Amino acid sequence: LAAEAQAQFTAATDSAALEVARVAYLGAKAGKLRLAQKGLGKVDSGDKPAAGKRFNEVKTLLEAEFESAQERLTSGKSAVGEAFDVTLPGRRRRIGHLHPITQTIRSMKEIMGRLGFTAVEGPEIEDEWHNFEALNIPLVHPARDPLDNFYLESAQKLVAEATSPLLLRSQTSTVQIRVMEATPPPVRIISLGRVYRPDTADATHYPMFHQIEGLLVDRGVTMADLKSVLRLFCQSYFGGDDEVHIRFRPSFFPFTEPSVEVDMNWQGGWMEMGGAGMVDPNVLRAVGYDPEEVTGFAFGLGVERVCMRQHGITDIRALYQNDVRFLEQF
């Protein structure tokens, strides 16, 4: 009986077949087990304990067999359903793309490349010579205030040979110095990268942002060259069919003389691009150039500002919150 019932339970391929087998063997009224139990009454009294024991063994065995058969059927069924429902609609795969700032940087590099400027990189951790001193920013200058810069005490301890305090660079003008120290004139470079200032984040400020720095040093370079390079750059980036105009407003930077703020015409008004000017003779001397031989211009523009204007983004913080719903629009 035990072997027979076991075979039936294992053979059942769906719950209906299993139910038939259950009724046949374990059924409370006429199941074969129940009939066997009734038969126990007719057994000789001497054999009764052994028969009763055997009956209980078979009963336990059959109940366990039934349960495992039931489990096999229900779990098997759901696994098959999940894996093979070919009627479900497909899920569209999400394809990533470049961050809007990266896109802006790439197209800036591409445009300036066409104008003959090579892109170079400099370190984000700088010493005071490259961030200030060589750029004609003396120790007493307010731009060196510890409250306006991220000085790095821990990096200081790690870099054994560091003789000057280290800080996160506050401007990409540092790269001008590094390039001129390493190469004799003429130079014609741009540098794009992150800069850091301890500003409280709001719609137009963020403690980290990007600048594009341009530097051209050669014989006889003038403000007119500066203006036409900036105009060509803005024309290529924003212009399309509209004619782009560049406006200079007098300004001051320790490392340029004269210095200007750069605006470009934009939707009927003027849009601030950044600062520029003729490289100060003190800077040329600091890197071993002869200001009587060569002159140069430099400019530094805000990458976020350009990117935000281009896309109509009104809050710089949105660029760095990594919200895909925002980023996937660009």
Q: Which residues bind ligand PHE (CB under 6 A)?
A: 171, 173, 213, 253, 256, 274-277, 298-300
Residue 148 C-alpha from the chain's centroid: 27
- Give me the least distance between CB of 189 and ligand PHE, in Å please: 12
Closer of 167 and 276 to ligand PHE (Cβ): 276
Instruction: Tell me if 271 sits within 8 A of 257, measured CB to CB.
Output: no
Distance of closest approach, residue 167 Cβ to ligand PHE, in angstroms:
14
Rounded least distance, CB 176 to ligand PHE, Å: 7
C-beta separation of 234 from 227 below 8 A: no
Does 257 show up as a binding residue in the annotation? yes
Q: CB of 302: closest distance to ligand PHE in angstroms? A: 8
Phi, psi for residue 130 in degrees, rounded to 5: -75, -30
d(CA 324, CA 68): 48
- Which tokens in the block code for residue 265? 């015409």
* 8 Å CB contact between 267 and 276: no
Residue 25 or 255: the one with the smaller Cβ distance to ligand PHE is: 255
Minimum distance from CB of 276 to ligand PHE (Å)? Answer: 5
Q: Position 119: which residue type?
A: A
Residue 48: strand, helix, or coil: helix
Smallest separation (angstroms) from ligand PHE to the CB of 152: 19
Q: Please identify, using beta-carbon distances, which residue of 104 and 173 lies nearer to ligand PHE.
A: 173
Given the complex with ligand PHE, which of 76 and 146 has the nearer CB atom? 146
Return d(Cα 276, Cα 216) in angstroms, integer. 12
Q: Which is nearer to ligand PHE, 26 or 230 (CB)?
A: 230
Least separation in angstroms between residue 89's CB and ligand PHE is 52
Residue 171's CB is within 10 A of a number of other CB atoms, namely 22
Q: How far apart are CA 301 and CA 307, in angstroms?
A: 11
Question: 166 vs 279, which CB is nearer to ligand PHE?
Answer: 279
CB-nearest residue to ligand PHE:
300
Which CB sits closer to ligand PHE, 24 or 111? 111
User: How does DSSP assign 158-182, residue by residue?
Assistant: H-TT--S-EEE-S-THHHHHHHHHH
Q: Which residues contact 51 (CB under 8 A, 6 or more apart)?
A: 40, 43
Cα separations (Å) of 53 from 32, 40, 59, 60, 299? 17, 11, 10, 11, 99
d(CA 74, CA 268): 71
Binding site listing: 257
Residues making up the binding site for Mg(2+): 257
